[in-house]
Each structure stands twice: as structure tokens, then as C-alpha cells.
Amino acid sequence: MTTDTILPPSCRSLRVAVLGAGLMGAPMARNIAAAGCQVSVWNRSADKASALAAPGITPAADPAEAVLNASVILTMLKDANAIAEVMLALPDADSAPAAPVCWLQMSTVGPADMSWLETLAARKGLTLIDAPVLGTRQPAEAGQLLVLAAGPDSTKEAVQPVLDAVGKATRWLDTAPGMATRLKLALNSWVFALTHGAAESLALARSLGLDPELVADTVRGGPLDTPFFQLKAQAMASGDFTPAFTIDNAVKDSALIVEAALETGVKLDLAEAGLNRYRRVQDQGHGGADMAATFLA
């Protein structure tokens, strides 16, 4: 694999390897295939990859098989450790094909993780694009994610068909990987603050003898309202915590936010308290529930 100048393709000329077929990776793989790309997909739990088998999507037995002849590799895995385990198993640059390959790293990781992922990409002969997404399962299914991207200018046209297939827009930030990850953590901090704020407001209303739905009804359509607030408030009031983004993932991402704050010396009292709330819910056995289950803390 080399990092030569990469020519702009149409999606129909691309072979894309999707590594990770969970809540986000599975719908992303479907949308990439629907756009005309040839997709190979791998997942640690093989049944999740097998369930995606369809015209344009081929399940792979292992990551090396998935990336064979791929011009774009997309990782949507649990965390940095999972990414490292999977990518280290791929051939190094001296034994890999000569065709240029882009690596779209779309999982949420920390800034420190991006530094060694760049080193790993160079070892594997891959051109790394830092491309986390803003959005959960429903936007992923609809191809309406917001992609935050940072990577060499030479890769933009090459990977844009894939990004267009999974997202409603791409925000290119920098030519160096890492800036997109930084912005993703800042945005996640806001998302989690909104979620915890809604949870505490509804929980307080209930404890005072009110119907929690009154909170959402009262702010609906006003300056304090947001579609996200209404969505999560409805889940909290109904007790339907079907996962769009799980508590387990919220714990992981909240910990990344707190860790980044400690490294940079900024005080994030809300983020630290929010991480503790998510951990309490996780300890109650709700790790697989939607992050709106912070209401149960």
C-alpha cells in the first residue's frame, strides 16, 4: 500500500472495506453499497457481518480478507484498542499491494490515540483521514450523519463519494489528522450535557409529583426547545431506551472528554459529573440501553 496521489473516483469504481458492523457500521455499509460501491464487511461477531450479505455487500471472514483489493478502508469500531488490534493484523507496507489506499478512521477516539494511529497508518502504507461522525443510529440509517474530516488534500476527492453515502454533509477541518477528533469531543461534551440536563429536569418534575412529559410540552416550540431534547425527553418519559447510542459508548466517550480536559488543564465539572451518572446507570446493568437512560441514574 502506498500514499501516492489518489485519483478522484466515482462511487461505482470504489471497493470499500467496512471494519465494524455494529449500530453505526451496519447502516453505513448498507448506504455505501446503495451508492454503488462494492463493499466488503467484517465484524468480530461474524453473524452481524453475515446479516449484511446482499448485492454489493460481501461478508469477510477476517479483516485481511475484507481489505483485499479495497481502495478505502473504513473503521467504525468500539475504541482505540479495538482499532489497534484489527489494523495491526493487516499487512505492513512492504508486503501490501502497491495501490494507494485511504483509511477513513470514523470511530471516536482521543487526541492522543490519533497520534499513534498516524504512526500505524504509515507502517501499513495507508493514508489516514480522521473522520468521526456526529449522529446516532437513526441518522446513520438515513445517511444523514455529519462527517467531521481532517486529512491530506490529495484524499478529499477520493473519499468524498463514501462520505456522501453516509452523511448529509462533510466538514473538512485541516490537512492533518487529529483536528476532527478534537472537534468531535467538544461536540460530544455538548450532546451529553443536553442529555443529562433533560434527564435531571424530567426526574425532578417526577419527584415533585408532576408528569415528566409536562417539561417537554412546556418548552416545545420555544427558544429552549431542540429536536434532540424532544427525542430524548420522549424516551425518558416513556421508558423506551431502545439504543441509538448506548450507555457503554457514552461512558467511553465521556471518559475521553474528561481525559482530554485533564491533559489540557481545563475544568469540565459538568463532563465529570455526567461521566459519573453514566457509570451509575452502567453499574445498574443498563450498559446496552440508549444514553437517555441517564434518566435512571
Give the position of cell 454489493: 56
Decide: residue 90, CB within 10 A, 0-12 exposed, 13-18 middle, 19+ buried: buried
pLDDT band at 64 (very low <50, low <70, confident <90, very high): very high
Is residue 123 pLDDT above 50, yes or no? yes
Q: How confident is the model at residue 2 (pLDDT cuts 50, 70, 90)?
A: very low
What tens digit of pLDDT does each residue of 144-160 get?
999 999 999 999 999 99
Enter the pTM of the model. 0.92
CB 49 within 8 A of CB 75: no
**Quick one: what percent of the chain has pLDDT higher than 90?**
91
Is the per-residue pLDDT at 20 higher than 50?
Answer: yes
Tell me the pLDDT of the chain averaged across its residues. Answer: 94
What number is the average pLDDT over the span 46-72? 97
Domains within the chain, CATH numbers bracketed = 11-176 (3.40.50.720), 182-296 (1.10.1040.10)
DSSP letter (8 states) at residue 78: S
Q: Supply angle C-alpha 14, 20, 21, rounded to 5.
A: 90
Flag whether pLDDT at 47 surpasses 90: yes
**Mean pLDDT lowest among 111-115, 257-261, 268-272, 292-296:** 111-115
Q: Enter the C-alpha cell of residue 150.
A: 481532517
Q: Are strands 72-75 and 15-19 parallel, antiparallel or unpaired?
A: parallel
Instruction: Report percent pLDDT > 70 for the chain.
Output: 95
> Does residue 283 carry a pLDDT above 50?
yes
The residue-averaged pLDDT of 225-248 equals 97
The set of catalytic residues is: 184
Find, among 214, 189, 219, the residue nearest to 203 by Cα.
Answer: 214
pLDDT attached to residue 11: 73
pLDDT tens by residue, 167-218: 999 999 998 889 999 999 999 999 999 999 999 999 999 999 999 999 999 9
Q: What is the pLDDT of residue 1?
A: 47
